[in-house]
Amino acid sequence: MHLSNAEPSTATDAEASTETELDKVIALGREIVLHTGTHPLSKQYVGNDLACTSCHLEAGTDPQAASFIGVATAYPAWSPREQRVITLEDRVLNCFMRSMNGTRPPNGSKVSVAMTAYIASLSQGQAMKMNHEKPLGPKHVPTLDIDMTTGDLTRGRELYANECAYCHGDAGEGSDDGPPVWGAKSYNHGAGLSRVPKLASWLKVAMPLGDPYLTDQQALDIATYVNSKPRPEFKLQDHLPPADKRGEYNAEPPAAD
Ligand code: HEC
Ligand code: HEC
């Protein structure tokens, strides 16, 4: 069974019959990454119209757009945000609170184990590396080499209207062709993409979908514009599960952000 690309499994009957329990859990994790907001195991933890694959393109198998390939080799890692060492599972769960504007699923829950198993499967055979500085895998999005203070709102508004609105809507509200990029149904102010340098760098390698052709300056102008728009505030307390479902949350709630 091949899980290293986003195509449906092409396993033959002979291969299928050798599918192990672990293979099944990994396949379940991939389904949840693709359909996070509608899958029965994950939808209760999602607070917007995004799925993990909205940003980790092709279920994280796109080599450039916040790829999951190799990510498991980078954990455990020091997290400056949490001021703790975190595991891959923690990293997965924290994404629910911020990028998905939802609630952190319990450690060890079926949904958490499946997603973490899927993501780990995309690092099979790769060498592990302790990460003493930040929780990012070897293929993380490189930060654009541009003065991040030079983003221009007016140019960004025009570029958005011409290059993005036909999929993401004039008011960022999303359409059948692209999820919301601002407003109540998008990522919140605690998400990585809510920071202009991160969004600009991600847009450069990810958007427009299938043909990312923006210059560094265009990516920065558009990121400056998109992130000037309203989106949900982030208050950590609102995104943690009840204390008895939390396990040991790896920061001091409420944290500074
Ligand atoms: C709004 C966009 C967005 C969504 C939705 C999102 N993420 Fe992320 N995630 C990011 C960005 C950006 C990073 C930083 C990656 C980078 O810089 O390459 C990240 C990082 C991660 C990492 C660490 C990657 C690494 O290189 O160490 C994991 C694991 C992860 N996300 C899992 C998830 C899961 C699981 C979901 C769904 C529950 C999810 N993310 C939803 C944007 C998003
Ligand atoms: C052809 C349609 C299309 C175009 C054009 C396009 N996108 Fe996207 N975009 C998508 C789709 C679809 C996704 C989700 C990926 C998936 O589900 O596979 C996405 C995801 C995103 C995301 C992360 C998820 C979210 O909604 O926050 C952002 C941010 C984004 N696009 C911004 C842009 C910007 C800015 C432009 C213009 C430079 C752009 N896109 C152009 C279709 C498009």
Say if residue 208 is preceded by a cis peptide, omega within 30 of 0.
yes
Listed in sequence order, the DSSP H helices in the chain are 13-16, 21-34, 88-97, 110-121, 153-163, 165-168, 196-206, 216-226
Q: Find the helix or strand (DSSP H, E) in which 79 lies.
A: strand 77-79
Provide mean pLDDT across the span 131-136. Answer: 91
- Please identify which residue in the block is written with the tokens 């999303």: 174
Alpha-carbon span 116 to 52, nearest angstrom: 12
Is 3 contained in some domain?
Answer: no
Provide mean pLDDT across the span 5-16. Answer: 55
152 pLDDT exceeds 90? Answer: yes
Q: What is the pLDDT of residue 248?
A: 75
Q: Considering the chain, what is the average pLDDT of its residues?
A: 92
**What distance in angstroms lies between residue 13's CA and the mean position of ligand 1's atoms?**
34
Q: How many CA atoms lie within 13 A of 205 on its CB side?
A: 20
Q: What are phi and psi of 157, to 5 degrees?
A: -60, -45
**What distance in angstroms lies between residue 32's CA and the mean position of ligand 1's atoms?**
14
CATH of the domain at 209: 1.10.760.10
Tokens (6 digits) for 169: 């809507």
Nearest CA to ligand 1 atom 18: 140
- 196 pLDDT band, cuts 50/70/90, is very high
Of 109, 140, 171, the one marking the end of a domain is 140
13 pLDDT exceeds 90? Answer: no
Q: How many domains does the chain have?
A: 2
Query: Which ligand sits nearest to residue 227's alpha carbon?
Result: 2
Tokens (6 digits) for 192: 């990585």
104-132 pLDDT tens trace: 999 999 999 999 999 999 999 999 998 99
Q: In this structure, how many other beta carbons lie within 10 angstroms of the beta carbon of residue 126?
A: 15
Instruction: Give the number of the atom of ligand 2 that is nearest the alpha carbon of residue 202.
Output: 29
- Identity of the residue numbered 126: Q
Q: Does the beta carbon of 194 lie inside 6 Å of ligand 2?
A: no
Q: Give yes or no: residues 37 and 133 share one domain.
A: yes
Question: Range of 69's domain?
Answer: 13-140
- DSSP assignment of 104-138: PPPTT-HHHHHHHHHHHHTTTTPPP--BSS-S--T
pTM given for the model: 0.93
